[in-house]
Amino acid sequence: MKTKQIMLLGIEAGRGAGTAGAQHGPVALRQRGLIARLESFGHTIEDLGDIPGVYETRFGAGSRRFVKNLPNVLQVNRHSHAAVLGSRRRDPDAFLLIVGGDHSIAIGTLAGLADSCNRLGLLWIDAHADYNTPDTSTSGNIHGMSLAVACGHGVNDLRTIAGKLPMIRESDVHLCGIRDVDSGERTKLAASNVHCLSADEFRSAGIAEAATAAIDQLAADCDHVHMSFDIDVLDASEVPGTGTPVPGGLSAEEAVELLTALSQRDVLQSAEFVEYNPALDRDDRTAEVTLRLIETLFQTAPLA
């Protein structure tokens, strides 16, 4: 990746997940030297600060059937939408790096990006499809609904945060690495135009090759390409500090291979890394893996 102006935004959100703690991820990553590590590659960092977790707590935690903490998640994503849209309008050439927070933050991120471009392309790297709606979700946790919301499905208050409905075309979504998909969710995905690769299919196609082919296609069709990276795409043994670990995922080395290829292609214009939960981590293993992955995306020369 060429040296860049990077806008860094943290989103302290955790109410979209079933296990508390992901809201502390952005602060923990900063404390472990995230900015200095990015600057070591020659990038210029503009720190936009964190959207605080107060937006998740100052409103009642009321819920509706099969949708937990909707008022809280809605508020933080409205603020995220405004922050992302404002940053893109002020400096559209800067790279926007977002650290979360649980994966419900993608709703606000994608809303802001959608309203700042003509056509948004998305590479979604995850163990889960996050394509549930209230009628298919078994948990009611919104972080499992975020991609469906962005594609125009599910809770109306969430899917209409952006000025565009849907925020993104299903055919402009490449979903890679999935291996834990609910049955109703699987049916919805099969009926959609989302491009899906399971973890096994991802490996069979060649992780780096499949990911670069996806972003090349998105770059040809879209005027903004974003990556949403959930660290639980890694095998559960690699990332104890995440709320929904799943066996059978990528190794850290495979994830580095993936992100190295994306870095060298240099067509991404924004990215988010989500679901690091410091409260669940052991010996800072997940923190170090997460920082290594972010560093890999922003390397300006191949890592030794």
Map residue 144 onto helix, strand or coil: helix
Tokens encoding 123: 């590479």
Separation of alpha carbons 132 and 121, rounded Å? 20
- Residues acting as catalytic residues: 103, 126, 128, 130, 143, 230, 232, 275
Three-point CA angle 180, 273, 236, nearest 5°:
40
Q: Which residue has the tokens 């135009």?
A: 193
Listing DSSP states for 12-56 in one string gives ---TTSSSTTGGGHHHHHHHTTHHHHHHTTT-EEEEEEEE-THHH
Enumerate residues 6+ apart whose C-beta is below 8 A from 82: 112
Tokens encoding 109: 């991120």
Separation of alpha carbons 143 and 113, rounded Å? 18
The kind and range of the H/E element at 148 are helix 146-150
Enumerate residues 6+ apart whose C-beta is below 8 A from 41: 3, 295, 298, 299, 300
Tokens encoding 177: 């690495």
Q: Which residue has the tokens 């975020």?
A: 146
Separation of alpha carbons 131 and 102, rounded Å? 15
